[in-house]
Amino acid sequence: MGELIGLAVSTVGAAAESGGGGGFDWWLLLWIPLGILGGLLLIALLVAGVILILVPAGIVAGGRGIFGWAVSGRIRKRAKRRLEETSSQYESACESAQKRIDAYNLQKIEVVTTTIGRFADWMVRNKLNVNRLAHDAEDVVLIDAIQDLPQSAMSSEEIAGVVLKAGAGVIAAGMAAAGTQAAAIAAVTAFGTASTGTAISSLSGAAATNATMAWFAGGSIAAGGGGMAAGGVVLVVITAAPAVAILGFTAGILGSKARTKSKQFEADVEIACARIKTLIDLREAGMRRIDELSTVLNGLAKRLDSATDRLESLEFDADLHGDDFRQTMLLVRAIREVTTLHVIDPTTGELTEMSAMLMSRYR
C-alpha cells in the first residue's frame, strides 16, 4: 500500500516538473492527500470486509463444523453399538447351533454303540464273526468366520490428507494475520500523527510504537481516544479476524467430511448387520437339516431295534431266518451311511452343503 501511494506521489511530482518551464501546477499536489486517504480507505474496507462478512461466515462454518463432528461422533457410537449387538446375537446363534450339532453327534454315537452294538452282540452270541467298525465320531467344531467388518470407514491416507489440509489452513491463517497487522501498522506509521500533532513517521523507537498503537484507538487517552491499550485490542482484532475466519472455514470443511465419513461407516455397518442377520436366519434354517438327519436316523434306529428284537426272539436258523437277518443288515448299512454323512465342513465350520452358498453369497 505504501508503495502504491509513493508511486502516486512520484508520478504527480514528475508531472508537475514536466508541466513546462513556465509554471508549477500546485493543484496537482492535491492528489497526495487524496491518494493517502484512498489508501487508508482501502485498508479500512479490507479490514471491515474481513471482520464484518468473512469472520461471521467463518464462525458459522466453524459452528457447523463442530456440529458435524458431534453428529459424526454420535453416528459412529450408535453404529458401533449396533454392530456389537448383532455380533453378540450371531455368537449366541452359533452357540445354540453348536449345541444342536453336539446333540446330533451324541445321538449318532448312541445309535452306533447301543442299537448297532446290540445287533453285533446278537451276532456274537450266534457265533457269527463280527468286525465292529469303529465309529468315526466327527470332531465337530463350529468355527465362526464372520466377514471382516469395517472398523473404520476412514482410510489412513484420507486422515493424513485432512490433517495436512487443516495444518496448512492454520499456518496460512497465521501468516495472513501477520500480514494484515503489519500492513495496518505500516500505514499508520507512514500517514498517522501522534496525539502531540507530530507525524508518527518522524518519531522513532518506543515513542513511534506507542503512538502507532494509540492511533488505532483514535489517539491517546489525553486526546480523547482509547489510548495504547485500546489500540492494542484493535490491532489484535485485525490480526485475529482472518485467523478466526480461516480456522472456522477449515473446521467447517473437516466437520462436513467427518459427517460424510461417519454416514458411510454407519451404512457399511448396517449392511454388515443385515448380512449377519441373514447368516443367523440361514443357520437356524440350516439346523432343520440336522433335525432331518436326526429324524431319519431315529426312524432307522427304531426299525433296527425292532428287527433285532425279532432276531433275539428267534431260535436263529440261517436257512429259516435268512431274510430276517438280511433285513436287519440292510438297516445297519443304512444307519452306517447316514451316520457317516458329514454335516459340518471342517474348513468353514458351516453345514457342509450350505458352505458354498454362504461363502459365495454372504461372506
In the chain, the amino acid numbered 20 is: G
Backbone angles phi, psi at 351, to 5 degrees: -55, 130
348: contact with another protein by CB under 8 A: no
Q: Which stretch binds another protein (CB under 8 A): 9-17, 96-104, 214-222, 250-258?
A: 250-258
Q: Which of 66, 186, 234, 237 binds another protein (CB under 8 A)?
A: 186
Distance CA 290, CA 219 (A): 94
| Residues in region 159-178 near another protein by CB under 8 A | 169, 172, 175-176, 178
Backbone angles phi, psi at 315, to 5 degrees: -85, 90
| Residues in region 321-340 near another protein by CB under 8 A | 323, 326-327, 330-331, 333-334, 337-338
For residue 141 the three cell numbers come to 467344531
Compute and round to an integer the Cα radius of gyration of the chain.
Answer: 46
| Residues in region 69-108 near another protein by CB under 8 A | none
| Residues in region 205-234 near another protein by CB under 8 A | 205-206, 208-209, 212-213
Among candidate residues 240, 212, 241, the one with its CA nearest the CA of residue 227: 212
Q: Specify whether the CB–CB gap between 184 and 232 falls below 8 A.
A: no
DSSP 8-state code for residue 314: S
Q: Which of 135, 289, 321, 363 binds another protein (CB under 8 A)?
A: 289
Instruction: Between 134 and 206, name the residue whose CB sits nearer to another protein.
Output: 206
CB of 29 to another protein, least distance (A): 27
| Residues in region 34-73 near another protein by CB under 8 A | 43, 46, 49-50, 54, 57-58, 61, 64
The b-or-e profile of 209-238 (16+ CB within 10 A means b, else e) is ebbbbbbbbbbbeeeebbbbebbeebbebb
Q: Which stretch binds another protein (CB under 8 A): 111-119, 142-150, 194-202, 275-283?
A: 275-283
Instruction: Between 130 and 356, name the residue whose CB sits nearer to another protein.
Output: 356
